[in-house]
Amino acid sequence: MIRSIPSPNFSVWEIGPLTIHMYALCIITGIAVAIWLGNRRFISYGANTHSVVSEVAIYCVPAGIIGGRIYHVITSPDAYFGSNGNPVDALKIWNGGLGIWGAISLGAYVAWIRYKQLAKKNQLPPFGIFLDALAPGILLAQAIGRFGNWFNIELFGRPLDASWALEVPQSFRPSGFREFETFHPTFLYESIWCFILALLLLWVGTRAKPGQIFSLYILGYCIGRFFIESLRIDDAHLLAGLRINEWVSIAVGGLALNFYLRLSKPSGRL
């Protein structure tokens, strides 16, 4: 019987002169899955071209990574600009630290710009359909990417004594929790939640108005992230007793629900 989930004893894979960071490998694998599934779904929506998703991804993926890093650095400034921080570390993405809200925001904005450019040359469906096609794949990318946090031994939650608890070496335990050995595997909770949401959106299929699938993705993720965030014990700024990311989940989730309801109206369109 498994007593607990062990933490990996490596985060870097070296093959000769090549160094592969497992965090980066998880992110890249997730992106590849998202592009593959997004392309298949986009075609199923009636798109007459096979290259739009990959052409948009060339621009929006780097933008998403940059946006995610900027959001992380802004919301965790002490780790880089505090008394014990090093500003140069803000550039070391392979060590972990990508905020999903920044990634989605900047990535979606750049995707919209590129999609509009391609729409001038090709007859493409509304941008809302494009987002709907991508939504399940993005969730699968997040589910896969969260295992990068496992390799980096980060983003675990409060102490937990259970068979699914995560073993954390003492050197990785936050101050005040050094005497505890096992913790909530919040990376796994979020991965499972994203996978379930992806299956739900795949089940919904095309039975929704353009933009509603993407709105459900944002809303569903916000609900799960709010509760998972409440388990985490890594340093974070608090506002009225809640972590910043909990407040962001409430705000973004509310906006997603509003968009979903607006799109439900006969004249609603994204």
Give the tokens for residue 108. 């979606």
**pLDDT for 113-170, tens place per residue?**
999 999 888 888 999 999 999 999 999 999 999 999 999 998 899 999 999 999 999 9
What is the pLDDT at residue 1?
A: 44
Backbone angles phi, psi at 23, to 5 degrees: -60, -45
Q: One-letter amino acid identity for 49? A: T
pLDDT, averaged across the chain = 89
For residues 31 and 24, what is the distance between their CA atoms, to the nearest angstrom?
11
What is the pLDDT at residue 208?
A: 83
**pLDDT for 49-71, tens place per residue?**
778 999 999 999 999 999 988 98
For residues 249 and 121, what is the distance between their CA atoms, to the nearest angstrom?
37
Is pLDDT of 247 > 90? yes
Q: How many CA atoms lie within 13 A of 133 on its CB side?
A: 25
